[in-house]
Amino acid sequence: MRIVPKTTENYEAELVELSSAIAVSTVTKRRKEDEEWFKRSENTINGYDIDEGNAKVVCITDGLTLLGRAITQRLLLHGYTVRIIVNGPDDLERLRVVRDETATFQGRIEAVTAKLTETESLVYAFDGCDGVFHTSGFIDPSGVSGYSKYMAEIEAKVSEKVMNACSITQSVRRCLMTSSLLACLWQNGTQFVSPSVIDHSSWSDESLCHDKKLWYALGKLKAEKIAWKIAENKGFKLSTICAALITAPNLLHHHPTPTIAYLKGADEMYENGVLATVDVHTLAKAHVQVYEEMNKAAFGRYLCFDKVITREYEAEKLANETRVDLDKIRGDNYFYCYRDTVYFVEQKTVFSKVQIIDHLS
């Protein structure tokens, strides 16, 4: 997540120095929490050999978040060179962490300064890249739980700028955007659709999100819709992954604002059997799989989750992990959700290799 940062006199000098450090990949002592997080990542991806044969360059609009870092590490393992957009001084410390975590991959991680609200700046950042991973989001320190109506508008604006920049950057052939299941779920008043199926054709109702002040859902919905509009109008290849609530060890240390914002309305999602989660490494793996299948005929919307919260003990576990009151997650629905679990259906017909994104092995 990004905050528009305050400028500092030595920002450019710090960025140049840090970018040089990234290039030579020197290792410094990590803080205990980040070291434990990276060890978790190593355990997840050790089964993959580093692919040195793929020299493609990709840009990630925010490689410094919990998800962005996981995607960056998996891309590096697949042989990609990863260019990370740096937005200001507040990103420098997080960039240092990424430098330490990726020390093994010498010379294959880059940093570039760009403003996500300016198309020309993004074109400069994207130039020379084969594809773009649009993962960035925004927070408003003055908003409730860090995400406000204003942030929803910014989210849509940035999506527009990113897609326009992708479509006019000569080297860029495709874009993979991180959306949210919340862009699919909120439909038909306070109840969900019947029959209870959520698939790639499902869209949340914008008016409902606005009326319920579900700003995070609204932001993801508007951002994804404008991305698809531009992609269709300009004939540009786009895929989106509609992700469930991201989970990971020490979740709130790495991902506090999106977690709290996602869980607004959790009691209704729980009641209707659509409160789903996904491990960050499963989600990162899905991103790279979908992106690589886009080399062929693949495109479209994909749902990604690995668990649906339907039982009391599952709700309690989620409450403990997120430090959200249990009553706000389950409401008055004790023991199990009121309705049978809604069936989530991913888009299966586009390609064969990644047929079941909700149960990636």
Contacts of 46 (CB under 8 A, 6+ apart): none
Calpha distance 240→290 (Å, rounded): 9
d(CA 182, CA 180): 5
Q: Collect all residues with Cβ–Cβ distance below 8 Å to 49 and sequence separation of at least 6.
A: none
**DSSP of 81-122:** EEEEEE-SGGGHHHHHHHHHHTTTSTT-EEEEE--TT-HHHH
CA of 40: how far to CAs of 101, 172, 329, in Å?
A: 12, 32, 27
Rounded to the nearest 5°, which phi and psi values hold at 133? -100, 110
DSSP type of residue 129: -
**DSSP symbol at 353:** T
Query: Which residues participate in catalysis according to the annotation?
Result: 220
Length, in residues, of the chain: 361
Cα separation, 56 vs 79, whole angstroms: 8
Distance separating alpha carbons of residues 95 and 86, to the nearest angstrom: 8
Residue whose C-alpha is closest to residue 342's, from 219, 221, 131, 185: 185
- Within 10 A of 145 (CB to CB), how many other CB atoms are there? 18
Determine if residue 102 is left, alpha or beta; phi over 0 gives left, psi from -120 to 50 gives alpha, anything else beta.
Answer: alpha
| Six-digit token string for 182 | 């919340």
